[in-house]
Structure 1
Amino acid sequence: MGAMSDDADDRPIVTEIVDGVGVLTLSRPRKINAVTVEMLGLIDAALDGWQHDPAVTAVVLRGAGERGFCAGGDITQIHRNGTTDPRRSVDMWRREYRGALRLSRFPKPVVSLMDGLAMGAGVGLGGHVALRVVTERSAVGMPETLIGLTPDAGGSYLLSRAPGELGTHLALTGRAMTGADAIATGFADVMLASSDLDRVIPALTAGGVPAVRSLAVDPPPAPLLSAAGWIDDAYRGDDARAIVARLRRLGSEGVADAGGAADDIEAASPTSVVLTLHAQRRARRLPDLEAVLGQELALVSALAASHDLVEGIRARVIDKDRSPRWSPPTLDEVDVEGIVDSIDWDTRL
């Protein structure tokens, strides 16, 4: 990971060229490198320069500090925007999603080092590039339903293409994956020992992406795969209430984690759960990342000023009482048809 240990608010993005590799370091370690609008602009500017620089043959994305690659977006700012000017959040999301798409199409190999936490916007930055690296310390996820949002930054694209119903389980519960899980679900490509991350840049210089792949270690068994049977059974269909009921039944039959999953879903925003389930099913049918990012923009635009987003961030991040007062408070009270019909699902990025 990055060598910096202190936040450098005047340099939240640090860029350098090392032996032909453009190295971009997210540098807000005390905030686990949470992404701001300013940082998105600096990332874009760095890519502008490196794209046409013949001295740069590849790019590495990494996070400063020991806690993680990127904990997500700056949701305290999203909370402020939700009560003052929600359009600022929408503008930020649009820029973030276009950045994720750009990284997925960048003409030079991009390697992301998703060591430690890689959540939300961290998946947007690191989850769509040429080579996605996790370690034994990685925790990768899309926890948006827990704050009244839905998986975004291309996260719903990856979730919708995970094997079976694993992505649905992760999307609705907001649970994090291990590095091995991330590889099994298509969020990552290889696992490296965290102690070997300093070898990535020399490997890229010497032999490109194949040389980095040669550093990989065999991941341990993925916990999610051992649960795939009951997950596939429980999460079928398009009715969130029926999914929770099946999870409760499985829990009563001795599948303890199924009961825990039901608890997680019922702790999330009911509106977010309904929209997320519909979005997952629809994303499976969309042709590519760009189309899914457009759908995600429609969803977050609709939720930018919503009660549940402001309340969810308050409960989890501002006051930290973990007791959000959702509106409506339960899945039974959600007007599913009305909520789904309120979204412009064919929004373009």
Structure 2
Amino acid sequence: MHSTPEASEKRTIVERNGALGHIRLNRPKALNSLTLDMVRDIDEAMDRFESDHDIAVVLISGEGERGFCAGGDIRAVYDAGRAGSAAPIDFWAEEYRLNARIARYPKAYVAFMDGIVMGGGAGLTVHGSHRIVTERTRFAMPETGIGFYPDVGGSWFLTRGPGELGTYIALTGEILGAGDVILAGLADHHVPSECFADLTDELAGLSQCGAAEVGAAIATFVTEPVPCTLALVRDEIDRLFRFDTIEEIIAALEEESSDFALKTLETLHRKSPLSLKVTLRLLRFGTSSASLEECLEREFSALTGVMKSHDFYEGVRAAVIDKDRNPKWQPASLDVVTEADMEPYFTPSPQPLFSES
């Protein structure tokens, strides 16, 4: 995978403080973007904390003030994929298994979602038992803008919130503030960033306890976030994004004259047409899925399509490498995306992520 000048630094700091097991992502210059080694570090730390009877709660946070985690190291995935390496698939397999583990972790798992939380950063936080946002939180699933789809269980957690907010978030990649993240069911509490040190001390001082005691400790720091913006357009979102095809959603938006509809149309027209279709289909499958693991399995299978696609490499080129923000998608429009184009994304993987037993 792609190396950086930070390679010699410790990218994951694992500490014990009283009853608290603390995992700190430590790539602040890269917005704490994830590498395979970091995924393994987190998993190993969770092993250690789970078996330690004196640890009551696990906390994960990101170093620096800009972001908790901006996602996977997408440049590394791009370079490895271009070289024909299997490293990206190995990364995603271990990342997705970690996402599932977080969701079923037997101890309280507190995620401090300060700053940017995108893609893989959502996978480390949204599945936790206690999800905290701050006034600096900027949450997004921006994958349709790079020829990808919301993964890390996105087809599960974006379909469990109220109405069609998850559909809107997945397709548009809209950046959300703290209040909107809570409204969408992706976080639980708002705590000012300046309270982080005191919150950490409070959690460290807990004795053997359960989720309720952890929740009570967090509650002493909770404040109201700034007013939600999505709440103002909630009815429009539910009405315009309820359809099962992108074409129907576009048509519904085109019939509206509101500022929201016009802005949303402009946003969707910039996204990969293929990614929009794949994403919506994954979401609709996710709605009727029985478990997070089922959704992760389907998302993992879809990676075959990603690694063979034109749009993923073109999207990363335009956003990360050349930074011209002008991707040339293939297919170029929704009307020429065929079932054959989508088939590689919906062919089950011969090597399942999770045991069927």
Normalised to the residue count of structure 1, the TM-score between the two structures is 0.93
Q: Gapped runs of 5+ residues in structure 2?
A: 207-212
Is residue 185 of structure 2 the alignment partner of residue 186 of structure 1?
Answer: yes
Q: Please, which of 312, 315, 338 is the counterpart of residue 312 of structure 1?
A: 315
Residue 340 of structure 1, CA deviation? 4.1
Conservation of the 8 A alpha-carbon contact between 1:182 and 1:188: yes
* 2:298 is the alignment partner of 1:268: no
User: How far is the alpha carbon of 1:128 from its aligned partner?
Assistant: 0.5
The count of residues paired between Structure 1 and Structure 2 equals 340
Which residue is equivalent to 1:3? Answer: none
**8 Å contact kept, 1:83–1:305:** no
In the aligned structure 2, how far is the partner of 1:343 from the partner of 1:152?
12
Partner of residue 52, structure 1: 51
Q: CA separation in 2, counterparts of 1:296 and 1:279?
A: 8
Q: Distance in 1 between matches of 2:109 and 2:234?
A: 31
CA RMSD of aligned residues (A): 1.7
Query: 2:24 and 2:176 mapped to 1: Cα distance?
Result: 23
Q: Which amino acid in the other structure matches residue 132 of structure 1?
A: R
- Aligned residue runs from structure 1 range 163-312, under 5 A: 163-207=162-206, 208-209=213-214, 210-250=216-256, 253=257, 255-312=258-315
The answer (yes or no) to whether the contact 1:19–1:205 under 8 Å persists in 2 is: yes
Identity %: 37
| Structure 1 position 55, deviation (Å) | 2.6
Please state if 1:76 is matched with 2:75. Answer: yes
Displacement of 1:283: 0.3
Q: Is this contact kept in 1: 2:138–2:176, CA < 8 A?
A: yes
CA displacement at 1:260 relative to structure 2: 1.3
The equivalent of 2:160 in structure 1 is: 161
Report the Cα distance in structure 2 between the residues aligned to 1:206 and 1:88, rounded to whole angstroms: 41
- Confirm or deny: 8 A CA contact 1:86 1:304 kept in the other structure: no
In structure 1, the gaps of 5 or more residues are: 1-5
Match of 2:125 in 1: 126
Report the Cα distance in structure 1 between the residues aligned to 2:326 and 2:194, rounded to whole angstroms: 39
* Offset of residue 305 of structure 1: 2.9
After superposition, give the CA deviation of every residue in 1:282-319 in whole Å (9 maximum; x if it has no partner).
10000121111111111223212311101100000000
Q: 1:43 — aligned with what?
A: 42
Aligned-residue offset at 1:323: 0.5
Q: Given that residues 9 and 28 in structure 1 are in contact (C-alpha distance below 8 angstroms), is that contact kept between their aligned partners in structure 2?
A: no
Matched residues in 1 for 2:148 and 2:303: separation? 7
Asked whether the equivalents of residues 161 and 185 of structure 2 are also in contact (C-alpha less than 8 Å), the reply is yes
Residue 13 of structure 1 is matched in structure 2 by 12
C-alpha displacement at 1:107, in angstroms?
1.6
SS at match of 2:132: strand
1:346 shift after superposition: 5.3
Residues 243 and 80 of structure 1: CA distance in aligned 2, closer, same or farther (over 3 Å): same
Counterpart of 1:318, as a letter, is: I
Partner deviation per Cα, 1:7-45 (whole Å, 9 max, x = no partner): 674200011111121111000000010001111111111
Q: Can you list the C-alpha shifts for 1:110-145, whole angstroms capped at 9, x where unaligned?
A: 100000100000000111011000011101111000
Deviation at 1:259, TM superposition (A): 1.2
Match of 2:210 in 1: none
Q: Do 2:304 and 2:344's aligned partners in 1 also have CA atoms closer than 8 Å?
A: no
SS in 1 for 2:314: helix
Cα displacement (A) at 1:277: 0.6
8 A Cα contact 1:7 1:27, kept in partner: no
| CA apart distance, 1:214 | 2.6
Equivalent residue, structure 2, for 1:105: 104
Q: TM-score, normalised by structure 2?
A: 0.91
Match of 2:340 among 310, 314, 338: 338
Q: CA deviation at 1:345?
A: 5.9
Give the deviation of 1:199 after TM superposition.
1.7
8 Å Cα contact 2:278/2:345 also seen in 1: no
